[in-house]
């Protein structure tokens, strides 16, 4: 019977020395990318490449660079085109080795942090749904406005009808009796003798 060798726990040497005062969980610092000096110094090459896509009057001063790696970097220049505040002309350059010449990869215009850019693209289905919703809301508002207008017209018609009734009334429906006395019958009765005597006395005077 063959016996299996005993296994023991051993410490694994990672090959990374721990600095005094540092913990094992501390992440190592990442060194900044250093691009070949020849690339950063090739501003004339970048300007020449940019002038192939835009007028020289639209290219401003050199404002810096951004390194992709040791052999590639993008050089930035101010953009003087009207309507593009904050944008920058960019020329990406590369140098494979110190013995190779610097070459142009691409040129373009890129927005800065404060640039005015187009809004985020919205799929057609979402835009159509939003349009239909706005149209339905507008139709509902118009329907409510029409109902309010009709109610206002009905109120005006009722007021006009009441006014016409008042103007056309001949008061024939009023009671002709006042305190139990029939006014119409009293008007038809002849004047009494006392009234005639009073009238004669007035004539003698």
Question: Distance between CA atoms of 203 and 205, rounded to whole angstroms?
Answer: 5
Q: Could you read off the pLDDT of 10-29 as tens digits, one per residue?
A: 343 434 344 344 444 444 44
pLDDT band at 153 (very low <50, low <70, confident <90, very high): confident
Is the pTM value of this prediction over 0.75? no
Q: 178 has which bridge partners? A: 181
147 Cβ neighbours under 8 A, 6+ residues apart: none
Question: Distance between CA atoms of 91 and 49, rounded to whole angstroms?
Answer: 7
> Any idea where the domains of the chain sit in the sequence?
37-110
Q: Could you read off the pLDDT of 54-90 as tens digits, one per residue?
A: 999 999 999 999 999 999 999 999 999 998 999 999 9
């Amino acid at each position: 019977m063959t016996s299996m060798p005993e296994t023991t726990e051993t410490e694994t040497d990672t090959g990374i020395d721990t600095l005094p005062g540092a913990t094992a969980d501390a992440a190592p610092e990442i060194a900044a990318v250093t691009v070949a000096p020849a690339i950063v110094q090739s501003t004339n090459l970048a300007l020449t490449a940019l002038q192939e896509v835009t007028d020289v009057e639209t290219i401003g001063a050199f404002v810096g660079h951004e390194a992709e790696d040791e052999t590639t970097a993008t050089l930035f220049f101010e953009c003087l085109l009207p309507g593009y505040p904050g944008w920058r002309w960019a020329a990406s350059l590369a140098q494979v080795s110190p013995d190779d010449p610097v070459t142009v990869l691409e040129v373009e215009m890129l927005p800065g942090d404060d640039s005015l850019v187009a809004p985020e693209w919205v799929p057609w289905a979402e835009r159509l749904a939003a349009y239909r919703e706005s149209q339905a809301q507008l139709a509902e508002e118009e329907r409510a406005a029409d109902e309010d207008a009709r109610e206002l017209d009905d109120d005006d018609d009722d007021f006009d009808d009441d006014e016409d009734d008042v103007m056309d009334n001949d008061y024939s429906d009023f009671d002709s009796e006042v305190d139990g006395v029939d006014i119409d019958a009293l008007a038809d009765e002849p004047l009494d003798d006392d009234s005639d005597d009073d009238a004669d006395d007035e004539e003698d005077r």
